[in-house]
Amino acid sequence: MKHILLMDGPDHKGLIYGVTHILYNHNQNIISQDEYVSPSGQFFMRTEFEGEGDPQKIMKDLSSFLPDGLNFRLNPKKKKEIVILVTKEHHCLGELLIRYAFNELDATISAVISNYNHLQSLVSKFGIPFHFISHEFRTRPEHEEAILRTLDIYKPDYLVLAKYMRVLTPTFVQHYPNQIVNIHHSFLPAFMGAAPYRQAYERGVKIIGATAHFVNDNLDEGPIIAQDVKEVDHRFTAVDMATLGKDTEKLVLSKAIKLVFNDRVFIHGNRTIIL
Amino acid sequence: MKHILLMDGPDHKGLIYGVTHILYNHNQNIISQDEYVSPSGQFFMRTEFEGEGDPQKIMKDLSSFLPDGLNFRLNPKKKKEIVILVTKEHHCLGELLIRYAFNELDATISAVISNYNHLQSLVSKFGIPFHFISHEFRTRPEHEEAILRTLDIYKPDYLVLAKYMRVLTPTFVQHYPNQIVNIHHSFLPAFMGAAPYRQAYERGVKIIGATAHFVNDNLDEGPIIAQDVKEVDHRFTAVDMATLGKDTEKLVLSKAIKLVFNDRVFIHGNRTIIL
Amino acid sequence: MKHILLMDGPDHKGLIYGVTHILYNHNQNIISQDEYVSPSGQFFMRTEFEGEGDPQKIMKDLSSFLPDGLNFRLNPKKKKEIVILVTKEHHCLGELLIRYAFNELDATISAVISNYNHLQSLVSKFGIPFHFISHEFRTRPEHEEAILRTLDIYKPDYLVLAKYMRVLTPTFVQHYPNQIVNIHHSFLPAFMGAAPYRQAYERGVKIIGATAHFVNDNLDEGPIIAQDVKEVDHRFTAVDMATLGKDTEKLVLSKAIKLVFNDRVFIHGNRTIIL
Amino acid sequence: MKHILLMDGPDHKGLIYGVTHILYNHNQNIISQDEYVSPSGQFFMRTEFEGEGDPQKIMKDLSSFLPDGLNFRLNPKKKKEIVILVTKEHHCLGELLIRYAFNELDATISAVISNYNHLQSLVSKFGIPFHFISHEFRTRPEHEEAILRTLDIYKPDYLVLAKYMRVLTPTFVQHYPNQIVNIHHSFLPAFMGAAPYRQAYERGVKIIGATAHFVNDNLDEGPIIAQDVKEVDHRFTAVDMATLGKDTEKLVLSKAIKLVFNDRVFIHGNRTIIL
C-alpha cells in the first residue's frame, strides 16, 4: 500500500531525521520525499512511501514525535472523487472528459452540474450524471443551496469550476474549504472580474494568460496553483484572444488539478507551495 | 537611398493601389510592405522602398492622392539618436552598451543621464558622456528642468528609460510625445506602481514578466510595445524574482526599442500596431 | 461572397499594384492582404476579398495580367473536408472531435480511418463514420490500397494523420500531394524515426517538442508547419515525457491544420511560408 | 561556515536518515536538502548546511556510515574560479563580463583566452587578463598545448567556452574532466556540427534554440545542462536566426553556469541531474 504523508508548520531541527527514522522503523520504503523551508521558517514536506506496516501505528509514532503546531495528514494514494461545475463553455469540460474517458485524470468524475443545459449532450456521451440547476427564478442563496444538496449526494473530495461563470458566496465556499479549484481566464492579478479578454484587448497587452487557483472568499484572489500564457499581437480582437486563451485555460486547469489530486499542493497564507 | 513610408488613418478603398502606383511611377522598388486594417476601420501601412527618385516629389504626389485625415510620414532609413536615463541598476544599461559597442543597436547613444552616479564607471568604459543630475536639493520641476536642458544639447529622437526609477511629470513628457520608451518590471497591468516583485511574491504568482511601453501622462499606462515572462515557483523570494526578472527586462527593452527604431510601431489610442 | 486569392512565383515590380487594381475594377473589397518576398526573390501573396463580382471574370483578368511562371489559385472561402487517420492514441483525435462538435475546426470530418479499432467507441460518440482497416494479413501495398479505396468514398481535401503510426509509401502520398498533415512527436529534426521520447530521455534533453508537417516522400522530412515545446527535467522518465508531450502534440496539430484549412500555408521547396 | 555535501551512487534504505543524523550530531543546520532517486535506483543528494562544527570530523563520520560505491564530496560554499575561452563573437562574453563587473556571476574570471584578438578591447575595459593565442602557424596539439600552459597559470575550477569555435581534442578535455561548459548554438541534438542556423533555415524550423552542455570526447554530445528556444517564422533568414539566437545563447549559458557554480549539477552517464 502506498501512502502520502503531508506535513507543514514551523521548522525544527531534526524533523527530516525524525520522520525518516519512524518510517525506517516501520519498514517503509520512501519512494520520494520533497521538502521546503520558507525564508520565514515554515516547513513543508511531502513523503510518498510504501510498505506492509500499519498506517495507524505510523500515525501514532508521528503524533508522539512531532512538535505541537506541526500539521500532518496521512493519505492513502488513491483517486480523488470530484464534481465539475460548468456554465456554457465546453473547452475545459471537454478536456477533462476526454482525459477521464481514457483514465488520465487521477480522479473519478462523479457528476457535472451546470446552471445551463448547453453541455448536457456532451456529458451524456461519456455516461456521467448531469444536473441542470438553473439560477433563473431562484435567489443566489436558493441556487447555491440547490447545488449544495446535489453535492451532498456525491460528497466529492474536490469541486472543479471548469468555466463556471457565477460568483460563489462565502457561505457556499465554507462548505468546501480549500477544495474548490477554479480556472480564471486571465493572467491574475491582471484583469480581475468580468470580460478579461475585452479588458486585455483594450489595454493592448502582448501576452494573455490563464490562472488556476483555489477559491476563497474573495473572487479571483485565492491561492494560485498554475498559470500559463500565450503571445498575441495587434491583429487579435478580443474574440480572437478568447479563442486562443481557451487552449491555455484548459491546459492550465488540467495541470493544476493533477497537482492537487496528487496531494502536491500546500496552501500557506495566500500562496501555494508545490512539492 | 532607402525610405520608410508610414501611413495611418481611416481606411479607404484603393489606398494600397494608389500608393503602390505612385511608388511605381517614381521607379521605386518596394522592399517590404505591411498593412493592417483594424476591425473599426483604421488603416496602417509601413512601406520600405528604395530607388533613385526625389523624396520631395514622392511626398507631393502622396499628398495630392491621400484623403484628408490620413497621416503619413516619410523617413529616410537611418539610425536614431537616443539618450538613456537610468538610476542605479545596470542590467538594462549594460545590455544596451554592449549592443552599441558592437553596432547592434540601430541607434547612436548620445549620452546617459542619471540621478545617481553609480553607473558612471560602466558608461565611461564605453566612451559615452555621462550626466549625473541628482534629484537631491531640487524640486521635481527643477530636476526635470535640469534634465531637459541637458537633453537640449543632444536633441535626441528618443529617450530610453533603462530602469529610471522616477515618475516623469506630464510637463516633462509633453516635450517628447511618443518618444519615451520605458521598461516596467512587471507584466502590466498586473502590479503597477512600486515594488512589483514584492507584490508578485505576495500574490504568489507562478509567472513574472516585464513590459516595455511608451510613456504618457499616466504612469504605467502608456501603449505597450513588448512583453515577456518567465516561470517562477514558491522557492523564489521577492529578491530571486527580481534577479530572474532582470534578464526578461533587458531583453524586452532591447526588443521594443529595435521595433521603435526601425519605425515599426504605430500608436493608436492606447494600443500599438507593430508592422 | 468571400474569396481567397493565393499567388506565388518569381517577384516582378508592380505585382501588388496590378492585382489590387484588378480587384478594385471588379468592385471587390480587400479584407486582408499579406505578402512576402523571399531574399531569393520569390513572391507570395494571400488576398482575402469580398464583393458582388463574378469570380470567373476576375480569374480571366488576373490570368491576362500575371506574368508566366506565377502560380495563382482562387478559392471560395469555405470549410475543408477532411479524413482523419489514427492508430491507438486518442489525445489528438479527442481534441479534433471536441473542436468539431462545437464547430471550431474550420473543417468537416467526413470519416476516421484506423488500423486498430481502439478508438471506435470514442468516434462513435460523435456520430462520425469509423473505418477499421487492419494492416494484419495484408501487405503494405494492399493495406494502403484498402485505405485509398475508402478515401475515394469521401474525396477529402486533406488527410490529417492524428498519430497514425505507420509510414506511408510514396505511392500513397502521390495521391494526396501537399494534402497530408502529420503530427510528429518530437522537435524535428531531432529524434526522427521511432520512439522519440525514449531517444529524448536518453539524450537528456531539457526541452521536448512536437512538429506538424506536410508529408512528402521522406518520412519526417516534409515542410514544417508548426512546432512547440515544453520544458522537462531529470525527473521525467521517457513515459512522463510522452505524457507531457501529448498536450503539445494536440495543440500543435490543431494550430497547423487551422492555418492549412484557412489557406494560409504556402510550400516553397522544403519550407513553409505562412501568411 | 556554509558547506555543500554532494552524494551520488546506488540507493540504500536509510541514507537520508543516516546523513541527517550525522549532521544533527555535529550541530549543523540544514539550509536546504534536495534528493532524487532515478527509476534505475541511483541516488543523488545535495545538502547545504551551516554550523560551527569541524568539516573533517563530519567527513570522517560520513565516510564510516556511507556504503561502498556511494560517492560524496564536501565543498565549502565559495566562488569558483574560471577561465573563459572565446573566438570572435562578443555576446556571451559581454553578458558574463557585465554580470562579473556587478558581482552577479558566482565566479571570479581569472582570464579570457582567445584564438583571435577581436575581443581584447572589450575584455580590457573590465581589467581582466586577455591571452591571444592564435591557432595560426600551430598544429592543433601545439595550439592546445599553448592554451593548457596558460591555464596552468590560473588553475581554474571551470573553463567556460563562450562561443569558442574550435573543437577540443580528447587529450585536452581529459585535463578538465566535467569542468568544461560549452554553449552550442542549436537545440541539440538537432543541427549538430557547423552552421546550425544555416541548417535550421534550410530545414524550415519554426523554433530555434541553444544548448549549454559539458564537453566530453564527442563534440556536441556531452551532458546537457540547460536549453531554451525562441520562435521564428519564414521571414527569418539564417542571419536573422543567428541574431535572435544570440540572446538565447547568452541567457542559456548564464543559467547553466550559475547551476554548475552552485554545485547543483550531477552528471550521470550522459544526463544531468540538477538539484
Q: Which residues in chain C are closer than 8 Å to D206, comparing Cβ atoms?
A: 224-227
How many residues belong to chain C? 275
Interface size, chain B vs chain D, as Cβ–Cβ contacts under 8 Å:
30
CA dihedral B114, B119, B125, B131 (to 10 degrees): 20
pLDDT at B220: 82
Which cell numbers in the block locate residue D110? 581569472
Per-residue pLDDT band at C154 (split at 50, 70, 90): very high
The one-letter code for the residue type at A165 is: M
How many residues belong to chain D? 275
In terms of Cβ atoms closer than 10 Å to its own Cβ (0-12, 13-18, 19+), residue A55 is: middle
The whole-angstrom distance between residue B170's C-alpha and the CA centroid of its chain comes to 17
Interhelix angle D238-261/B238-261, rounded to 10 degrees, is: 170
Nearest CA in chain B to D228: B230
Q: Is the confidence at residue A219, as pLDDT, over 80? A: no
The alpha carbon of residue A67 is apart from the nearest alpha carbon of chain D, in Å, by 17
Q: Hey, is the C-beta of B187 within 8 angstroms of any chain A C-beta?
A: yes
pLDDT at B217: 82
pLDDT at D237: 92
| Interchain CB distance below 8 Å, A13 and D33 | no
| Alpha-carbon distances of B240 from A165, A263, D74, rounded to whole Å | 36, 26, 26
pLDDT at C31: 82
Nearest CA in chain D to A29: D13
| Interchain CB distance below 8 Å, D251 and B254 | no
CA–CA separation, B183 and A53 (whole Å): 58
pLDDT at B34: 87
pLDDT at D167: 93
CA–CA separation, B31 and B48 (whole Å): 5
pLDDT at A152: 98
| Alpha-carbon distances of B212 from A130, B17, C102, rounded to whole Å | 47, 35, 38
| Interchain CB distance below 8 Å, C14 and B32 | no
pLDDT at C107: 97
CA–CA separation, B108 and C24 (whole Å): 44
**pLDDT tens per residue, range A115-141:** 999 999 999 999 999 999 999 999 999
List CB contacts of C68: < 8 A, sequence separation 6 or more: none
Q: Is the confidence at residue C35, as pLDDT, over 90? A: no
Nearest to D223 by CA among B229, C261, C229, C234: C234
Nearest CA in chain B to C31: B37
Best mutation target among A206, A216, A227, A251 (most B Cβ atoms within 10 Å) is A206
Cβ contact C3:C77 at 8 Å: yes
| Alpha-carbon distances of B183 from B179, B220, B228, B250, rounded to whole Å | 14, 9, 11, 8
Which cell numbers in the block locate residue D7? 552524494
CA–CA separation, D121 and D88 (whole Å): 12
pLDDT at D23: 93
Sheet holding A180-184, edge to edge: A130-132, A107-114, A80-86, A158-161, A180-184, A207-214, A224-231
Annotate D42-98 with DSSP letters as a single string.
Answer: EEEEEEEEE-SS-HHHHHHHHHHHSPTT-EEEEEES--EEEEEEE-S--HHHHHHHH
pLDDT at C193: 78
Provide the residue-wise pLDDT of chain B in tens; the chain has 275 residues.
899 999 999 988 778 888 988 998 999 988 888 888 888 889 999 999 999 889 999 999 999 999 999 999 999 999 999 999 999 999 999 999 999 999 999 999 999 999 999 999 999 999 999 999 999 999 999 999 999 999 999 999 999 999 999 999 999 999 999 999 999 998 888 888 788 898 989 899 999 999 999 999 887 889 999 999 999 999 999 999 999 999 999 999 999 999 999 999 999 999 999 99
Best mutation target among D99, D102, D257 (most B Cβ atoms within 10 Å) is D102
Q: Which residues in chain A are closer than 8 Å to D35, comparing Cβ atoms?
A: 33
Cβ contact D31:D2 at 8 Å: yes
CATH 3.40.50.170 region(s) of chain D? Answer: 80-274
Q: Hey, is the C-beta of C16 within 8 angstroms of any chain A C-beta?
A: no
Highest-scoring range by mean pLDDT, A22-26, A220-224, C85-89, C217-221? C85-89
In terms of Cβ atoms closer than 10 Å to its own Cβ (0-12, 13-18, 19+), residue B51 is: middle
Per-residue pLDDT band at A144 (split at 50, 70, 90): very high
Annotate D100-127 with DSSP letters as a single string.
Answer: HHTT-SSEEEEEEEESSSTTHHHHHHTT
CB nearest C35 (choices: B13, B14, B33): B33
CA–CA separation, A163 and B217 (whole Å): 37
CA–CA separation, B21 and B23 (whole Å): 5
Q: Which residues in chain B are closer than 8 Å to A203, comparing Cβ atoms?
A: 188-189, 224, 270-271
Q: Which residues in chain B are closer than 8 Å to C17, comparing Cβ atoms?
A: 17, 20-21, 24
Q: Hey, is the C-beta of A41 within 8 angstroms of any chain D C-beta?
A: no
- Which has more confidence, A159 or B36? A159
pLDDT at A145: 98
Q: Hey, is the C-beta of A222 within 8 angstroms of any chain B C-beta?
A: no
CA–CA separation, B261 and D236 (whole Å): 19
Nearest CA in chain A to B220: A203
CB nearest B17 (choices: C24, C31, C35): C24
Half-sphere exposure of B70 (CA within 13 A, CB side): 22
| Interchain CB distance below 8 Å, B91 and D101 | no
Half-sphere exposure of C257 (CA within 13 A, CB side): 34
Q: What angle do CA B181, B185, B190 make, to 5 degrees?
A: 105
Which cell numbers in the block locate residue B232? 517562477
Q: Is the confidence at residue D155, as pLDDT, over 90? A: yes
CB nearest A17 (choices: D20, D35, D37): D20
The alpha carbon of residue B41 is apart from the nearest alpha carbon of chain C, in Å, by 10
The alpha carbon of residue C195 is apart from the nearest alpha carbon of chain A, in Å, by 21
Which helix (H) or strand (E) segment holds residue A25: the answer is helix A15-25
Annotate chain C with DSSP letters as a single string.
Answer: -EEEEEEEEE--TTHHHHHHHHHHHTTPEEEEEEEEE-TTSEEEEEEEEE-SS-HHHHHHHHHHHSPTT-EEEEEES--EEEEEEE-S--HHHHHHHHHHHTT-SSEEEEEEEESSSTTHHHHHHTT--EEE---TTS-HHHHHHHHHHHHHHH--SEEEESS--SPPPHHHHTTSTT-EEEEESSSTTTT-SS-HHHHHHHHT-SEEEEEEEE--SSTT-SPEEEEEEEE--TT--HHHHHHHHHHHHHHHHHHHHHHHHTT-EEEETTEEEE-
CA dihedral A184, A190, A196, A200 (to 10 degrees): -140
Which cell numbers in the block locate residue C256? 497547423
- Residue D137, sorted as left (phi over 0), alpha (psi -120 to 50) or beta, turns out to be left
Catalytic residue among A34, A217, A220, A240: A220
When pLDDT is averaged across residues A76-101 and rounded to a whole number, the result is 97
CA–CA separation, D191 and B157 (whole Å): 41
| Interchain CB distance below 8 Å, A24 and D17 | yes
Percent of chain D that is helix, strand, coil (3-state, to 5): 35, 30, 35
Q: Which of A31-35, A253-257, D237-241 has the lowest mean pLDDT?
A: A31-35
CA–CA separation, D93 and D83 (whole Å): 11
Q: Which residues in chain B are closer than 8 Å to D125, comparing Cβ atoms?
A: 125-126
Q: Which DSSP category does D190 fall into?
A: T
pLDDT at A34: 87
CA–CA separation, C65 and C80 (whole Å): 29
Q: Is the confidence at residue C14, as pLDDT, over 80? A: no
- Which has more confidence, D1 or D245? D245
Rg (CA), chain C: 21
CB nearest D247 (choices: B101, B243, B251): B251
- Between the two ends of chain A, the Cα-to-Cα distance in Å is 21
Q: Which residues in chain D are closer than 8 Å to C37, comparing Cβ atoms?
A: none
Which helix (H) or strand (E) segment holds residue B48: the answer is strand B42-50
| Interchain CB distance below 8 Å, D207 and C229 | yes
Please provide residue A137's backbone torsions phi and psi, each rounded to the nearest 5 degrees. 60, 20
**pLDDT tens per residue, range A64-83:** 999 999 999 999 999 999 99
Q: Hey, is the C-beta of D272 within 8 angstroms of any chain C C-beta?
A: yes
pLDDT at C212: 97
Q: Hey, is the C-beta of A205 within 8 angstroms of any chain B C-beta?
A: yes
| Interchain CB distance below 8 Å, C30 and B16 | yes
pLDDT at A193: 78
pLDDT at C153: 97
When pLDDT is averaged across residues A16-33 and rounded to a whole number, the result is 88
**pLDDT tens per residue, range D240-262:** 999 999 999 999 999 999 999 99
Which cell numbers in the block locate residue B130? 555621462
Q: Hey, is the C-beta of D41 within 8 angstroms of any chain C C-beta?
A: no
Q: Hey, is the C-beta of A262 within 8 angstroms of any chain C C-beta?
A: no
CA–CA separation, C251 and C226 (whole Å): 10
Q: Which CATH superfamily is domain D80-274 in?
A: Formyl transferase, N-terminal domain (3.40.50.170)
CB nearest A20 (choices: D16, D30, D31): D16
CATH 3.30.70.260 region(s) of chain B? Answer: 2-76
Nearest CA in chain C to D199: C189
| Four-residue CA torsion sign, A163, A169, A175, A177 | positive
| Interchain CB distance below 8 Å, B234 and A273 | yes
**pLDDT tens per residue, range A167-202:** 999 999 999 999 999 999 988 888 887 888 989 898
When pLDDT is averaged across residues C119-138 and rounded to a whole number, the result is 97
| Interchain CB distance below 8 Å, A20 and D20 | yes
Rg (CA), chain D: 21
| Interchain CB distance below 8 Å, B226 and A204 | no
Q: Hey, is the C-beta of C190 within 8 angstroms of any chain A C-beta?
A: no
Q: Spell out where B63-106 has E strands.
A: 71-76, 80-86
Q: Which DSSP category does B66 fall into?
A: S
Interface size, chain A vs chain C, as Cβ–Cβ contacts under 8 Å:
30
Which residue(s) pair with D71 in the sheet? D8
- Chains in contact with A, where contact means 3 or more Cβ–Cβ distances below 8 Å, are B, C, D
Which cell numbers in the block locate residue A135? 439560477
Interhelix angle B55-65/B15-25, rounded to 10 degrees, is: 150
Half-sphere exposure of D228 (CA within 13 A, CB side): 17
Which helix (H) or strand (E) segment holds residue B58: the answer is helix B55-65
Nearest to A74 by CA among A157, A156, A3, A1: A3
List CB contacts of B137: < 8 A, sequence separation 6 or more: none
| Interchain CB distance below 8 Å, B270 and A224 | no
Active site residues of B: 220
Q: Which CATH superfamily is domain D2-76 in?
A: ACT domain (3.30.70.260)
The alpha carbon of residue A237 is apart from the nearest alpha carbon of chain B, in Å, by 8
When pLDDT is averaged across residues D169-173 and rounded to a whole number, the result is 96
